[in-house]
Amino acid sequence: MSAPQPLARRSVVDELVDALRAAILDGALAAGTPLREVELAGAYDVSRHTLRAALRSLAADGLVEIEPHRGARVAALGREQLLGLYEVRTALEVEAARLALERNGGTLPDSVHRSVARLSAATRRRRPSWSTIAALHAELHGAIVAASGSPRIVAEYERLAAELRLFLLQLRPVWSLERMRTHHEELVAGLEDEGVEVLRRHLRDGADAVLS
């Protein structure tokens, strides 16, 4: 028997990070919301020192912005950042989808179809958490990228994870669950029937919804 490994012991900071992350990803703390230390420390019954440590951790994940002398707020993507994200997503995802279709005989692998089925099922639940929807959305788009079989494209796409989380937060108020479901069902079917221009339009529609 190998030597026992020490158990990870969660700290109050870790628990607070998880609680605040869930509040952000579920939309309880919307993009741009100020994160006032006194209010949050009282709400979670923690010290301000603990709260600041949690906020720094969330800032490292890209979910919180901290400005000297102005405090913290939930991160939000500005217009130029949104346009830049759209451009790089289009470059990576459209090429990934092209390779995926080329290397799979014009179809997408089962991993993509399973992912869209999970996303569709989640949107039909009664009041699903937005963090669940966002995670399944990321899983689906990640599956399309992974189907390219290109480790370099996958690695570059993974660098967008924090910005994509913020994008989904800003998409939440303007896209219904029904729209999320139908848009992605049509995306997967359309990729196999019509090709990558369907994905280009899909990404443009999402960007336009947030920018407008």
12-74: in CATH 3.40.640.10:
no
Q: Which residues of the chain have pLDDT under 50?
A: 1, 7
Same fold, 12-74 and 79-211: no
Segments making up each domain of the chain, as ranges: 12-74, 79-211
Q: List, in sequence order, every beta strand (DSSP E) within the chain.
A: 34-35, 64-67, 71-74
pTM above 0.85, yes or no: no
Angle between helices 197-211 and 79-103 (to 10 degrees): 160
Write the CB contacts of 151 (distance below 8 Å, at least 6 apart in sequence): none
Do residues 200 and 94 touch, judged by C-beta distance below 8 A? Answer: yes
- pLDDT (tens digit per residue) in 150-185: 999 999 999 998 889 889 989 998 999 999 999 999
pLDDT for 97: 98
Classify domain 79-211 at the CATH class level: mainly alpha
- Please answer whether residues 168 and 134 qualify as being in contact, where contact means their C-beta atoms are separated by less than 8 angstroms: yes
